Amino acid sequence: MKTGLERFIESPGLRRPLHGARVALLAHPASVTRGLAHALDALAALPDVRLSAAFGPQHGLRGDKQDNMVESDDYVDPRLGIPVFSLYGPVRRPTDEMMQSFDVLLVDLQDLGCRIYTFITTLRYVLEAAARHGKAVWVLDRPNPAGRPVEGLRLRPGWESFVGAGPLPMRHGLTLGELGRWFVDWLGLRVDYRVIEMQGWQPEAAPGFGWPEGPWVNPSPNAASLNMARAYAGTVMLEGCTLSEGRGTTRPLELLGAPGLDAARLLADMREMAPDWLAGCLLRPCWFEPTFHKHHGQLCAGLQIHTEDPASYRHAAFRPWRLVALALKALRRQWPDAPLWRDFAYEYEHGRLAIDLINGSSLLREWVDDAQAPCADLDALARADETAWQQERAAYLLY
């Protein structure tokens, strides 16, 4: 399989339309070739590409920032002498001055296939800016490691945020290039948009189901494995909860837990309430002690999600959003009066709970907190959204 970046590097014909144009790159640490050359370095080595600027999203062009809401500064690349603009600093939308630094923006970002991953929102923002300024945007496409499955509630009107770029379900099942096509249509943008497609991507082929054999480079500091990418559409909800999602351990966003939690009871209640929501993976009761972040220095009991074993992982059956929603529902049974929802500034939003921003509405939180609401209620809401999205996205699939 070849990524869009690799095809762009190998094919002078793909680059020919850029002759004489000033080219900028939006990238992050996972923007690499199969040989692990970073996209910025690989493009700088091409004699027919005139690099004039670079952009970094959340966590930075080279991945310098660990946590959420830790900003990166603009700087000048010491080797290339070009400006590197931060789209996660004083601004998250490119300014007019930034937009004057190039004619064509190449976007090479490894996504995780989840609505909340902020690189999606950054793509929307640069597309909108490009439409206003008459600039072109080309996405050098990459695999969606979570594959094609669709899951979760769609974001409701009025709930847009930096972790909610539009009415997508939690797992959208598109590549970044395909998402760009949808954004252009949904927003009604008049913009020169192109996708340098991958070659040989097989999103339904085992064992990777969209992720090819080869090295994994963290696209963000806590995206440490394919297992994390598969679980992320569920475990990311824990960022809005008082439960730990494993930050401060070596398995972030693969875990859930808290001090004093009864993991055996939690798992038993989950199996009683909705056994089919646990399908497709292995769940391991475990103990962990975060060295930073929530519950740091405290022993937590909880569960780890495992999707690494080809004998037990079932790609179509695994539904991480439902799995973690069910864990929250079962935890409410165990701790009916516990302060489950964190109330703090989340991705520059004040006055709205993080769990609601993450889910694109208050529907999931209200279902968890309603002791009388059965799992079938949430399932019905999600199934309607999932079916509608599968029909809508069909027009934007490239593979």
Task: Identify the CATH number of the domain in which residue 118 sits.
Answer: 3.40.50.12170
Q: Token pair 């789209």 is at which residue?
A: 87
How far is 329 from 269, CA to CA, in rounded Å? 9
**Domain end: 218, 252, 278, which one?**
218
User: Same structural domain for residues 181 and 242?
Assistant: no
How far is 104 from 55, CA to CA, in rounded Å? 12
* 387 located within any domain: no
User: Same structural domain for residues 258 and 155?
Assistant: no
**Domain end: 164, 193, 218, which one?**
218
pLDDT, tens digit (0-9, with 9 covering 90-100), for 101-151: 999 999 999 999 999 999 999 999 999 999 999 999 999 999 999 999 999
User: Same structural domain for residues 238 and 364?
Assistant: yes
**Domain end: 218, 249, 282, which one?**
218
User: Same structural domain for residues 265 and 377?
Assistant: yes
CA 309, 315, 321, 323 torsion-angle sign: negative
pLDDT, tens digit (0-9, with 9 covering 90-100), for 304-362: 999 999 999 999 999 999 999 999 999 999 999 999 999 988 988 888 999 999 999 99
Residue 67 has pLDDT above 80, yes or no: no
Domain count, the chain: 2
Closest CA to 312 of 278, 286, 285: 278
Q: What is the pLDDT of residue 10?
A: 97
Residue 98 has pLDDT above 70, yes or no: yes
pTM: 0.95
Going by pLDDT thresholds of 50, 70 and 90, the confidence category of residue 13 is: very high
* 16 located within any domain: yes
User: Same structural domain for residues 201 and 235?
Assistant: no
* 39 located within any domain: yes
- Do 14 and 105 meet the contact criterion of CB atoms below 8 Å apart? no
User: CA-CA distances (angstroms) from residue 369 to 86, 362, 385?
Assistant: 39, 11, 21
Residue 66 has pLDDT above 80, yes or no: no
Residue 399 has pLDDT above 70, yes or no: yes
User: Same structural domain for residues 129 and 256?
Assistant: no
Going by pLDDT thresholds of 50, 70 and 90, the confidence category of residue 69 is: low
User: Same structural domain for residues 232 and 274?
Assistant: yes
User: CA-CA distances (angstroms) from residue 223 to 63, 68, 280?
Assistant: 11, 13, 21
Q: What is the pLDDT of residue 65?
A: 62
Q: What is the pLDDT of residue 72?
A: 79
Closest CA to 381 of 115, 166, 151, 149: 151
* 28 located within any domain: yes
| Strand (E) or helix (H) holding 2 | none
Residues 6+ apart with CB under 8 A from 306: 227, 281, 282, 283, 284, 312
Going by pLDDT thresholds of 50, 70 and 90, the confidence category of residue 235 is: very high
Residue 19 has pLDDT above 60, yes or no: yes
User: Same structural domain for residues 145 and 212?
Assistant: yes
* 366 located within any domain: yes
Beta strands in 289-334 (DSSP E): 300-306
User: Same structural domain for residues 24 and 144?
Assistant: yes
User: Same structural domain for residues 237 and 192?
Assistant: no
* 396 located within any domain: no
* Percent of the chain whose predicted confidence (pLDDT) is above 70: 98
* Averaged pLDDT of the chain: 96
166 is in which domain, residue-wise?
4-218
User: Same structural domain for residues 190 and 235?
Assistant: no
pLDDT, tens digit (0-9, with 9 covering 90-100), for 215-234: 999 999 999 999 999 999 99
User: Same structural domain for residues 310 and 186?
Assistant: no
pLDDT, tens digit (0-9, with 9 covering 90-100), for 248-282: 999 999 999 999 999 999 999 999 999 999 999 99
